[in-house]
Amino acid sequence: MPVSYRDIAADLRQQISEGRYAPGDKLPMLTELQATYGAGYQTARSAIALLEQEGLVVAVRRRGTIVRERPEKRRITRSRQVFRDEIGYYFDPTAQSWVALETPSVRWGVVPVDLASLMGLDIGSEVLVRDRVMGDPETREPKQLATSYLPATLARGTQLAEADTGPGGIYDRLEEMGHRPLRWSEGVSARMPSPEEAEALNLPADVGVPLLRVVRVTESPNGEVLEVNDTRMSAEEFEIGYSIRRHTSARLTGSENDSDEDR
């Protein structure tokens, strides 16, 4: 049976995974791949194209196909807790030191279709949109994009719509408006970036690097959705981590050492 481009890609992918081709190494030329696998030119080329699409290799002019250098992943720990420092609430100790790299963009817009039902709004409803690029204060390297959506009926005519929302940010303002204590929940997903998002995060233009997407919902005690925060970051640079606790149904049978800390 003739070898397929997926077969060739699978074999090369395995060799890259095992370190036989290290970052910076050059893969065999197409003519060499043809001879090695007994494949045609287009089959070999399609195999390389698939690895390029996956972000494993990159074509470098006058050098050939090179295994990509990829950053060591940093873990974003979602501990299911909200923290507070002198600036205000925050949700991730890893990102605590990050700052807005430019003045936040504040505008009136239309709720994204995929967030409308989450906010309890009709498609086409007006919302306040607050965009921020967050990053390292020393290197000025962007790390995440954070966009907040607030119902227009809630935000219009308030400090929530100002570029500077004051000490504690929008969450302190919401609690001062009588919505305390705030409650939060979030979901994590992934998607490909838009060209604008890729540019803002300095993602490589020649390979497809997906985004990690954390959507956080802010609610009042009565369940009214006050804000949805859509945070995006490079899935190549970051991963989501969390601790796993032992549920009461998973107690060690016959053990006298079970404690609340194990649950």
91 within domain boundaries: yes
pTM of the full structure: 0.73
Whether residues 34 and 120 fall in one domain: no
Residues 229 and 140 in one domain: yes
> Do 170 and 209 fall into the same domain?
yes
| C-beta contacts of 101-109 below 8 A and 24+ residues apart | 101/133, 101/134, 101/135, 101/140, 101/142, 102/133, 103/163, 104/130, 104/131, 104/132, 104/163, 105/129, 105/130, 105/131, 105/132, 106/130, 106/131, 106/161, 106/162, 106/163, 108/152
Instruction: State the residue range of the domain holding 30.
Output: 5-67
Q: Would you say residue 261 lies in a domain?
A: no
Q: Residue 246: inside a domain, yes or no?
A: no
Q: How far is CA 41 from the centre of its chain?
A: 37
Residue 209 has a pLDDT of: 86
Would you say residue 168 lies in a domain?
yes
Q: Do 12 and 116 fall within a single domain?
A: no
Q: What is the CATH number of the domain that holds 9?
A: 1.10.10.10
Same-domain pairing of 157 and 200: yes
Please, what is the average pLDDT of the chain? Answer: 88
The pLDDT tens digits of the residues spanning 125-171 come to 999 999 999 999 999 999 999 999 999 999 999 999 999 999 999 99
Residue 56 lies in a domain: yes
Q: Are 126 and 109 in contact (CB under 8 A)?
A: yes
